[in-house]
Amino acid sequence: MADFGNYIAKGKKGHLIGVGGVSMSPLAEVLSGFGLKLTGSDMAESEKTEHLRSLGIDVIIGHAAENLAPDVDFVVRTAAVHDDNPEIMAARELGIPVFERTQAWGAIMRDYKNALCISGTHGKTTTTSMCTHILMAARRDPTIMLGGTLPLLKANHRVGAGDTIVMESCEYYNSFHAFFPTIAVILNIEADHLDFFKDLDDVKNSFRCFADLVPEDGCIIANVDDENTMDALTPLNRPLLTFGLGQCAVVRGENLVSRGGKTDFDVIYDGKLFTHVVLNVPGRHNVMNALAACASAICLGVPGEAVAEGLAAFSGAGRRFEFKGSCRGADVYDDYAHHPGELKALFDAVEALDYSRVIVAFQPHTYTRTRALFDNFVEQLRRPTLTYLAEIYAAREKSIAGVSSQELAKKVPNSRFFPTLDSLEAALLELAAPGDIILTVGAGDIFKVGEALVRAN
């Protein structure tokens, strides 16, 4: 297989399919900055396609074989672009090498002294965002790629001139196996993406292979409080920098004090006080994310003062317990949680905030995940005062007989199923009252409901 690193050279010509995507558009920006000549295609106009054109990249709307110039040296595609795409078929006929997006990012990493790759079933975007705040406070001028919009950047990426790149690293389809981490963070491991992985052991093996990519002089950062993580990493026989709340963690949180949505705590490293953190996002899970970010900073030689400054300025990433506004006196928040473990962390955090009612509008994400984790979803969705269920967001999948939100509603007390987002929105609008928190939750388009409620206020 060709090495994408051979194509990162001034004057090389590349074509990116799906160039308007959240990870592809910054990839195009980085490659253009290296002096490559690029074209791209996407299915729709967007702010990202307009921005890329302003950089001199020719972006074509729609996919067609003629979009691919015969003198192109390489093609990069997103995971959503399959072999039957006309541009992929044209590239094959012309003998032009086709690379996956993660292969390109992996090759780019090799040009950085420090490649911090943050993985885990949950918390990747938040932890990557926290690391971004810390590195910006430390004036390290990092390059960043994350899965959600960060208010600090007003984007989901940043192209810096420093020696550090920070990448959110996803296990789905073993994507992060194409990376070259010098520091690999594993936040937690649970059974997920079971349309690809066979079972939990298969997921663990994927993370184990990812950690094994770290060179001997690099660093593996692991959540010592997560049994699956430690089980996955034990066979490596490699030194680990562990984080957690237990006494066995090398980087641990102590003296936690929670006040509403804030948590203060000391960060202890190797038995000594490293820094004191004031965290302005709620929940134990965010304390764990912050400890992972602290461990990353320690590996990168960032002083405790910059860590405290960066974390104090962090108020959340887009769609991660994001405050949208109010509706008839109720606070409206949006969250990306789409796995039972993420729902548990979210509900744990919200229950500590003393709202009179917790009203959740949940949109399950993919049929395979809903089927595989059905009982776990029921367990968590029983917890809110009221649970309103939208139909499953299919994403890349086709429907599966017998798997639906309506079936979930039959098992969840105080729940209702709504076949359309409009009907769900109308019910919430009628229900909203002072003292309530309304959460729109899921990885699909459920966020539109919360935004509509705020507009209707």
pLDDT tens-digit readout, 350-393: 998 989 999 999 999 999 999 999 999 999 999 999 999 999 99
159 falls in which pLDDT band (50, 70, 90)? confident
* Amino acid (1-letter code) at residue 170: C
Q: What are the chain's domains?
A: 4-104 (3.40.50.720), 112-312 (3.40.1190.10), 322-456 (3.90.190.20)
- CA atoms of 123 and 295, how far apart (whole Å): 15
Residue of 284, 185, 190 whose CA lies nearest to 243: 185
Nearest residue to 324 (alpha-carbon basis) of 456, 215, 420, 213:
456
Does the pLDDT of residue 441 top 80, yes or no? yes
In this predicted structure, what is the pLDDT of residue 93?
95
Helices (H) and strands (E) in the chain, counts: 15, 21
List Cβ neighbours of 402 (8 Å cut-off, separation of 6 or more): none
pLDDT in tens, 384-432: 999 999 999 998 788 999 999 999 999 999 999 999 999 999 999 999 9
Q: Report, as an integer, the average pLDDT of 248-256.
A: 97
Q: How far apart are CA 388 and CA 440, in angstroms?
A: 9
Whether 210 has a pLDDT exceeding 90, the answer reads yes
pLDDT of residue 155: 85
Please compute the mean of the pLDDT values over residues 34-38 and round it to a whole number.
94
What are the tokens at 340?
């039972």
Q: How far apart are alpha carbons 182 and 220 in whole angstroms?
A: 8
| Catalytic option among 37, 48, 124, 324 | 124
Instruction: Work out the average pLDDT over 318-324.
Output: 91
Residue 1: band (very low, low, confident or very high) from pLDDT cuts 50, 70, 90: low
Please, what is the average pLDDT of the chain? Answer: 95
Q: From the candidates 125, 126, 370, 387, which is the catalytic residue?
A: 125
Residue 311 C-beta-side C-alpha neighbours within 13 Å: 33
- Is-catalytic flag, 411? no
What is the rounded distance in angstroms from the CA atom of residue 117 to the CA atom of residue 107?
13
Two tokens, residue 238: 């490699």
Is the model's pLDDT at 30 over the cut of 70?
A: yes
Catalytic residue among 78, 102, 128, 168: 168
Q: Edge-to-edge, what's the strand order for the sheet holding 164-168?
A: 155-158, 143-150, 164-168, 114-119, 183-186, 219-223, 240-244, 251-259, 262-269, 272-279
Residue 339, token pair as written in the block: 């796995």
